[in-house]
């Protein structure tokens, strides 16, 4: 299976090269349109690890020993060997993607990515060490640190905005252990931090530094592929419980930010899984809802800070991959992306819009509805969900096709304890750790181990710098590691 840029069919790469490179040279994203004849029925008979081996093996066929990579990525790291359990809540199903080491769904992909990157490095004969540079608004940073910690041949530097992450998120990062990890606060907001990281990528590292930069962001196909697995896993669970027969369609409702999670569902469908509708759920930042309804993508709109911050996004990078897969015309995609860059907006063709309507549903809800949903689901079903999951649940309520509905759950409620506690009528004043305790006392829902032990862990990373100093900081670290 060969990868190519979404903007130029002449720029191609093997799956190992695509993982190592991250972004194509022309700024496009690596994608394949050749899904071959995947044995999706056989795959449904496997356990979670077997499914991961089969699906990742098919999507990334150039890796020599995928079973070993999967074992190394996931063994003992998740709360259950199922990795992503499916829970019945009322008449719907919640797919819990947050049972990994950092209690956010990014663990599913970021446990696997370091294995893929190091294997690709070896197979491609690269001698340089790989330095992962990440700007984070919270969840990605910690999941990347946990994934890359002490992985040979890699180093990781995570920058987070000084005032832009929650107390729990900060504690998760500054207590990170590992010989190859580095965490640094930047004075400014997330955009400043991200701009700084982009600048460092653009400038590159000096010749002969023995280090090559790479990204843990979802533009990397190696981060997307592991997410395809849980769509199969949920379907297999429904099959085993007798809820569906093989071939029946299942709808998936996905809380969406950068469009990575939901795109993985579309890849599962292209591989043969009987996915019905993929419903894209957004918070008040509803650029995708508008797009999927009208075919006009317009990022020229206010940016809202919400209680589901991982979905506060105006430019969803992975949408570019979907556009390519729907038209298979790199010139058309390149045109849309040019319009987005130059004008801040683009309008897709009627043919494209028709295809989008054929595959996707959409909906959005605001913070008030999100909280109301958390409170109501807790009261009616005794199920406690986080703010991102609640957005998807709310959208799912407005959407019934008759097919079974799987709502993807992307974070533990304890990652956003203040919003969740106040949503179920608790007193959310004071320190975030106190709020976690109160949420536990009130609900009895266990606190994930990684969050429960956080308070007693020593702080290991105390650097704080100005954004102008980010590049010098990275060069200093590279020099120091030599």
Q: Which residue has the tokens 């089969």?
A: 54
Strand order in the sheet with 464-466: 211-214, 129-135, 154-161, 181-187, 464-466
Nearer to ligand PLP, 21 or 169 (CB): 169
Stretch that binds ligand PLP, among 49-57, 257-265, 399-407, 428-436 (CB under 6 A): 257-265
Q: How many CA atoms lie within 13 A of 189 on its CB side?
A: 2
The closest of 370, 396, 358 to 279, measured between CA atoms, is 396
Q: What is the CA radius of gyration of the chain?
A: 21
Task: Please state, in angstroms and rounded to a whole number, the distance separating the CA atoms of residues 21 and 30.
Answer: 9
Among the listed residues 69, 157, 311, 333, the single contact to ligand PLP using CB under 6 A: 311
Task: State the pairing for strand pair 129-135/154-161.
Answer: parallel
With 0-12 / 13-18 / 19 or more C-beta atoms within 10 angstroms meaning exposed / middle / buried, residue 445 is middle
Nearer to ligand PLP, 169 or 180 (CB): 169
Mark whether 379 is an active-site residue: no
Nearer to ligand PLP, 28 or 100 (CB): 100
Min CB(224)–ligand PLP separation in Å: 9
Per-residue exposure over 167-185, b if at least 16 CB sit within 10 Å of its own CB, e if not: ebbbbbbbbbeeebbbbbb
With 0-12 / 13-18 / 19 or more C-beta atoms within 10 angstroms meaning exposed / middle / buried, residue 477 is middle
Contact predicate 358/276, CB 8 Å: no
Q: Which residue has the tokens 């469908």?
A: 269
Nearer to ligand PLP, 14 or 169 (CB): 169
Task: Please state, in angstroms and rounded to a whole number, the distance separating the CA atoms of residues 59 and 39.
Answer: 12
Residues 203-222 that bind ligand PLP (CB under 6 A): 218
Nearer to ligand PLP, 385 or 478 (CB): 385
Binding string, 333-372, against ligand PLP, x = CB under 6 A?
----------------------------------------
Among the listed residues 257, 413, 417, 450, the single contact to ligand PLP using CB under 6 A: 257
Nearer to ligand PLP, 219 or 474 (CB): 219
Among the listed residues 322, 333, 411, 420, the single contact to ligand PLP using CB under 6 A: 411
Contact predicate 407/373, CB 8 Å: no
Which residues, including other chains, have CB under 8 Å from residue 158's CB and lie 6 or more apart? 134, 135, 136, 141, 144, 145, 173, 181, 182, 183, 184
Residues 138-157 that bind ligand PLP (CB under 6 A): 139
Min CB(108)–ligand PLP separation in Å: 11
The one-character DSSP state at 411 is B
Stretch that binds ligand PLP, among 254-262, 351-359, 419-427, 436-444 (CB under 6 A): 254-262
Among the listed residues 129, 192, 261, 397, the single contact to ligand PLP using CB under 6 A: 261
Min CB(10)–ligand PLP separation in Å: 29
Among the listed residues 16, 217, 310, 370, the single contact to ligand PLP using CB under 6 A: 310
Strand partners, 281: 255, 363
Among the listed residues 78, 259, 360, 378, the single contact to ligand PLP using CB under 6 A: 259
Does 435 bind ligand PLP (CB under 6 A)? Our answer is: no
Nearer to ligand PLP, 119 or 392 (CB): 392
Nearer to ligand PLP, 17 or 454 (CB): 454
> From the candidates 106, 269, 394, 415, which is the catalytic residue?
106
Min CB(342)–ligand PLP separation in Å: 25
Residues 376-395 that bind ligand PLP (CB under 6 A): 388
Does 56 bind ligand PLP (CB under 6 A)? Our answer is: no
Among the listed residues 258, 282, 289, 370, the single contact to ligand PLP using CB under 6 A: 258
Binding string, 78-107, against ligand PLP, x = CB under 6 A?
--------------------------xxx-
Task: Please state, in angstroms and rounded to a whole number, the distance separating the CA atoms of residues 22 and 45.
Answer: 32
Task: Please state, in angstroms and rounded to a whole number, the distance separating the CA atoms of residues 106 and 261.
Answer: 9
The one-character DSSP state at 128 is S
Task: Please state, in angstroms and rounded to a whole number, the distance separating the CA atoms of residues 1 and 60.
Answer: 7
CB count in 10 Å sphere of residue 293: 14
Min CB(214)–ligand PLP separation in Å: 19
Q: Catalytic residue numbers?
A: 106
Residues found near ligand PLP in the complex (CB under 6 A): 104-106, 139, 218, 255-261, 310-311, 388, 410-411
């Amino acid at each position: 299976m060969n990868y190519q840029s979404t903007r130029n069919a002449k720029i191609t790469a093997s799956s190992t090269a695509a993982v190592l490179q991250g972004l194509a040279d022309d700024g496009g994203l690596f994608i394949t349109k050749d899904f071959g004849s995947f044995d999706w029925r056989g795959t449904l008979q496997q356990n979670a690890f077997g499914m991961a081996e089969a699906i990742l093996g098919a999507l990334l066929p150039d890796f020599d020993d995928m079973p070993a990579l999967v074992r190394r990525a996931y063994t003992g790291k998740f709360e259950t060997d199922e990795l992503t359990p499916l829970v019945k809540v009322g008449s719907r199903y919640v797919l819990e993607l947050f049972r990994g080491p950092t209690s956010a769904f990014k663990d599913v992909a970021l446990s696997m990515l370091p294995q893929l990157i190091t294997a690709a490095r070896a197979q491609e004969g690269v001698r340089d060490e790989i330095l992962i540079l990440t700007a984070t608004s919270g969840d990605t940073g910690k999941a990347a640190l946990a994934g890359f910690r002490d992985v040979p041949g890699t180093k990781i530097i995570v920058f987070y905005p000084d005032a832009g992450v929650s107390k729990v998120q900060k504690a998760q990062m500054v207590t990170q252990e590992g010989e190859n990890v580095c965490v640094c606060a930047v004075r400014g907001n997330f955009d400043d931090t991200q701009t700084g990281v982009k600048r460092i990528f653009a400038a590159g590292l000096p010749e002969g530094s023995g280090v090559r930069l790479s990204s843990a962001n979802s533009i990397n196909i190696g981060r997307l592929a592991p997410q395809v697995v849980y769509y199969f896993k949920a379907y297999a669970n429904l099959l085993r419980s007798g809820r569906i027969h093989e071939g029946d369609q299942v709808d998936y409702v996905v809380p969406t930010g950068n469009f990575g999670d939901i795109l993985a569902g579309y890849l599962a469908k292209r591989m043969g899984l009987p996915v019905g509708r993929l419903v894209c759920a957004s918070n008040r930042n509803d650029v995708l809802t508008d797009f999927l309804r009208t075919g006009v993508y317009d990022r020229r709109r206010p940016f809202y800070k919400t209680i589901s911050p991982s979905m506060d996004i105006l430019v969803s990078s992975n949408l570019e991959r979907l556009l390519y897969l729907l038209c298979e015309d790199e010139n058309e995609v390149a045109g849309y992306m040019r319009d987005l860059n130059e004008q801040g907006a683009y309008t897709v063709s009627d043919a494209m819009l028709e295809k989008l309507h054929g595959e996707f549903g959409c909906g959005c809800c605001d913070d008030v509805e999100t909280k109301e949903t958390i409170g109501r689901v807790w009261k009616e079903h005794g199920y406690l969900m986080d703010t991102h999951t609640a957005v998807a649940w709310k959208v799912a309520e407005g959407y019934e096709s008759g097919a079974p509905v799987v709502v993807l759950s992307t974070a533990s409620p304890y990652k956003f304890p203040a919003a969740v506690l106040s949503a179920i009528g608790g007193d959310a004043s004071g320190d975030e750790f106190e709020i976690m305790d109160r949420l536990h006392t009130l609900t009895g829902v266990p606190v994930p181990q990684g969050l429960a032990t956080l308070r007693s862990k020593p702080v290991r990373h105390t650097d704080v710098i100005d954004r102008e100093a980010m590049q010098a900081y990275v060069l200093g670290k590279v020099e120091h590691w030599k």
